[in-house]
Amino acid sequence: MPKQNCVGMKGQVYETSVLDADEGICFRGYSIPECQQLLPKAPGLAEPLPDGLFWLLVTGQVPTEEQVNWLSKEWAKRAALPSHVVTMLDNFPTNLHPMSQFSAAITALNSESSFAQAYSEGVNKAKYWWEVNSMDLIAMLPCVAAKIYRNLYREGSSIGAIDSSLDWSHNFTNMLGYRDATFTELMCLYLTIHSDHEGVNVSAHTSHLVGSALSDPYLSFSAAMNGLAGPLHGLANQEVLVWLTALQKEMGGEVSDEAMRDYIWNTLKSGRVVPGYGHAVLRKTDPRYTCQQEFAFKHLPDDPMFKLVHQLYKIVPNVLLEQGKAKNPWPNMDAHSGVLLQYYGMTEMNYYTVLFGVSRALGMLAHLIWSRALGFPLECPKSMSTNGLITLVGANNSS
């Protein structure tokens, strides 16, 4: 069977973000540095609030502090989980992967779907976007994610109560059990920069595809999370950490640049890749990597693992250029994010994709609102058999 590689093929209209080969991801036309500068921040913190980014993704406008405060309070009001979902999460076996638990719980939240109810009652199509439930689902996701974390890694301790005076990120970190204000600031940055990445990556396209059948956000987003759980999509930062840990174990403490260069070449010559380097579209250092690097220089400049990451940043691109195979030898965001989480004590790598999923809800569900508002049709492209493809190609060649 032929391989089907669609990288670069134009396949969807998607408003919330665009990935530029030179500038990186832009949210509604704003680069990451611009979002860091323009979006409102929590008192005393330097990174933008994801609440404000969601406002930007939905409306196309940079929100005021008052608008973001309103949104944060709305999410706090909607955050309580139905008891059957809590019971289900408590009854899951501890060997069930966090992403499987996350997806199952989101599907079960379909019991709260006002869209499904409204559709069954014959709601006018013009109101589909209003009934879409995205606000409710985003509000509940940190509670779901925190419940999973506490059950698996904190002996089932309580996530506590939502504080209506706090923003979405701050409530999330409190429920996880992290009280360090700098970790909360990291979560603001993490949840913002992971929020959206155009519309045709596996998870975003899955959400759009399932949503095009008028499945509600709970069903379309849970399907997307099953795509995100795949090792070729959401596990990249985990693979980077595994590789870094192996490097550290084999090479010991401080490593000379020459020894590091030899290690990288040995990795490449063995048929492996350097995880976290390269990107299908970008042709420069990922701005999401850069802002995490700046955060690390500010808050953990002497951390051994960060120093290792920064040393690799100075060496790997030149080796990849010398090898001559990589179109983009520069690091992407996955080369950095896991190291920051490890520094603040979140060492449970299997959980990282859940954090990714909580963040991605902002972009996917903002898009779903617009899909409903614009009346996007059911996505139903044409497929063909291999024999049909051979016939088509043959016919074209003969002409």
Q: Distance (Å, rounded) from C-alpha 277 to C-alpha 327? A: 11
Contact 163, 104 (CB under 8 A): no
Exposure class string for 120-159: b at 16+ Cβ within 10 A, else e:
eeeeeeeebbebbbbbbbbbbbbbbbbbbbbbbbeeeeeb
How many degrees, rounded to 5, is the angle at CA 321 between CA 319 and CA 323?
Answer: 70
Q: Distance (Å, rounded) from C-alpha 344 to C-alpha 182? A: 9
Burial class (CB in 10 A: 0-12, 13-18, 19+), 187: buried
Tokens read off for 224: 């997307």
The gap from C-alpha 351 to its chain's centroid, in whole angstroms, comes to 13
Tokens read off for 258: 């020459």
Catalytic choice (194, 197, 208, 279): 279
Q: Distance (Å, rounded) from C-alpha 297 to C-alpha 251? A: 23
Q: Can 334 be counted among the known catalytic residues? A: yes
Q: Distance (Å, rounded) from C-alpha 316 to C-alpha 329? A: 7
Contact 24, 284 (CB under 8 A): yes
Contact 202, 228 (CB under 8 A): yes
Catalytic choice (167, 216, 286, 334): 334
Catalytic choice (233, 262, 299, 310): 233
Q: Which residues are CB-contacts of 356 (< 8 A; sequence separation ≥ 6)?
A: 194, 228, 234, 237
Contact 180, 96 (CB under 8 A): no
Q: Distance (Å, rounded) from C-alpha 126 to C-alpha 129? A: 7
Q: Can 97 be counted among the known catalytic residues? A: no
Q: Distance (Å, rounded) from C-alpha 267 to C-alpha 329? A: 15
Contact 211, 220 (CB under 8 A): yes
Tokens read off for 254: 């401080």
Q: Distance (Å, rounded) from C-alpha 217 to C-alpha 200? A: 17
Contact 142, 358 (CB under 8 A): yes
- In single-letter form, the type of residue at position 238 comes to Q
> Where in the sequence numbering do the catalytic residues fall?
233, 279, 334
